[in-house]
Amino acid sequence: MEIRRVVGILIIGSFILFGFSFGRTDQKPLTGKISISGAWALYPMALKWAEEFQKANPGVKIDVQAGGAGKGIVDVLAGMVDFGMVSRDVHPQEVEKGALPIAVTKDGVVATISEKNPFLIDILKKGLTKSHFLDIWITGKITTWGQVLGTQDKAAVHVFTRSDACGAAETWAAYFGKRQEDLDGVGVYGDPGLAEAIRRDTLGIGYNNINFAYDAKSLRPVSGIAIVPIDLDGNGKIDTRESVYATRDDITQAIAKNIYPSPPARDLYLVAKGKPKNRAAVEFLRWILTDGQKYVPETGYIPLSKEKLAEGLNKIK
């Protein structure tokens, strides 16, 4: 009897010491594959998250492919990927098809021109109003840089837009209460393509997601690109409060403080088709909404509120 009692105590002690680990599957090393596609806007952040998560979980392989928000939503609803990166609000008809949007961070879209634009000094000094942008991309009333700056100059404004279904275009159009298909301009595929088109055309104007308009190392605008400031109060000059474009940190802080208008500031989403069943994908998403948030500012994005992060976590319980 004494021997049995001692053995029983040892067994019970072992369970207590190891926290009943024999029955806990969450102690097993995480393994599996996660596939993600979609918005260029979220692509740099998703790459950073994937890199850091895989360091801690070497048994997990994460594939991230950019191609526009339209591709992301199509791919995830077709069951081709675990998550679609979407840089616009998810449409009701997409929710009806099973789309489950989870906000993971925030950024914005900025208007861009060539650094060699002959009117650069005046543009940076005066800025453009929402009405200017509306008449450039929507109504077509503005066709020359003289009309923008209130002069007689006849140099034509060369307007560019995105050719692919994307959140940047949808968000930029939403600034005017419109949709991507309402935007005029020469269509160019992808964020890198549009930035390159603007760099090459001294009279061009376009728009880019922040992390394609600013250099990741210097935090200054990408070489050859200048950011068009928005004259928020319409007084014909860029005031101190409106001077938020010098560095990536300046613009992201302005968005965080609600100085930069929304839209074109917006939430970015990882979209699943219903609650994800892939254990690795669930844990990756849970990590993004918790520990992974520490990588958001350094990657050039804006953290979400605690309430919005908690809302995301509740969706995957």
Q: Convert the pLDDT of each residue in 264-276 to its tens digit.
A: 999 999 999 999 9
Q: What is the pTM of this model?
A: 0.87
If asked whether residues 36 and 157 sit together in one domain, one would say: no
Average pLDDT over residues 186-199: 98
Tokens (6 digits) for 286 = 């849970």
CA atoms 216, 219, 224, 227: torsion sign: positive
If asked whether residues 257 and 295 sit together in one domain, one would say: no
**252 vs 33: CA distance, rounded Å:** 32
Q: Which of 84, 38, 102, 28 is nearest to 60 (CA)?
A: 28
Q: Does residue 136 form part of some domain?
A: yes
pLDDT at 27: 60
If asked whether residues 93 and 135 sit together in one domain, one would say: no
Domains identified in the chain, total number: 2
Question: pLDDT tens, 166-186?
Answer: 999 999 999 999 999 999 999
**Residue 151: other Cβ atoms inside 10 A:** 13
Q: Does residue 213 form part of some domain?
A: yes
| End residue of a domain, out of 265, 282, 303 | 265
Q: Does residue 40 form part of some domain?
A: yes
The model's confidence at residue 28, banded by pLDDT at 50, 70 and 90, is confident
If asked whether residues 171 and 242 sit together in one domain, one would say: yes
pLDDT at 19: 39
| End residue of a domain, out of 249, 265, 281 | 265
**155 vs 176: CA distance, rounded Å:** 25
**Please, are residues 259 and 245 in contact by the beta-carbon 8 Å criterion?**
no
pLDDT of residue 13 exceeding 70: no
Q: Does residue 16 form part of some domain?
A: no
Residue 147: phi, psi to the nearest 5? -65, -35
Q: Does residue 249 form part of some domain?
A: yes
Find residue 209's DSSP bridge partners.
109
If asked whether residues 248 and 144 sit together in one domain, one would say: yes
Q: Does residue 211 form part of some domain?
A: yes
pLDDT of residue 213 exceeding 50: yes
Expressed in percent and rounded to 5, the helix, strand and coil fractions of the chain are 45, 20, 35
If asked whether residues 64 and 115 sit together in one domain, one would say: no
Domain that holds residue 220: 108-265
CB-count burial class (<10 Å; 0-12, 13-18, 19+) for 4: exposed
Collapsing DSSP states into helix, strand and coil, what is residue 46? helix
If asked whether residues 187 and 250 sit together in one domain, one would say: yes
Residue-averaged pLDDT of the chain: 92
If asked whether residues 97 and 206 sit together in one domain, one would say: no
pLDDT at 8: 44
If asked whether residues 155 and 175 sit together in one domain, one would say: yes
If asked whether residues 155 and 62 sit together in one domain, one would say: no
Exposure string (b/e) for 54-73, b if CB count within 10 Å is 16 or more?
eeebeebebebebbbbbbbb
Question: pLDDT tens, 275-295?
Answer: 999 999 999 999 999 999 999
If asked whether residues 130 and 249 sit together in one domain, one would say: yes
Q: Which residue has the higher pLDDT, 109 or 21?
A: 109
Q: Does residue 1 form part of some domain?
A: no
Q: Does residue 23 form part of some domain?
A: no
- For residue 153, the domain's CATH number is 3.40.190.10
If asked whether residues 62 and 157 sit together in one domain, one would say: no
pLDDT at 16: 37
Question: pLDDT tens, 220-249?
Answer: 999 999 999 999 999 999 999 999 999 999
Question: pLDDT tens, 87-144?
Answer: 999 999 999 999 999 999 999 999 999 999 999 999 999 999 999 999 999 999 999 9
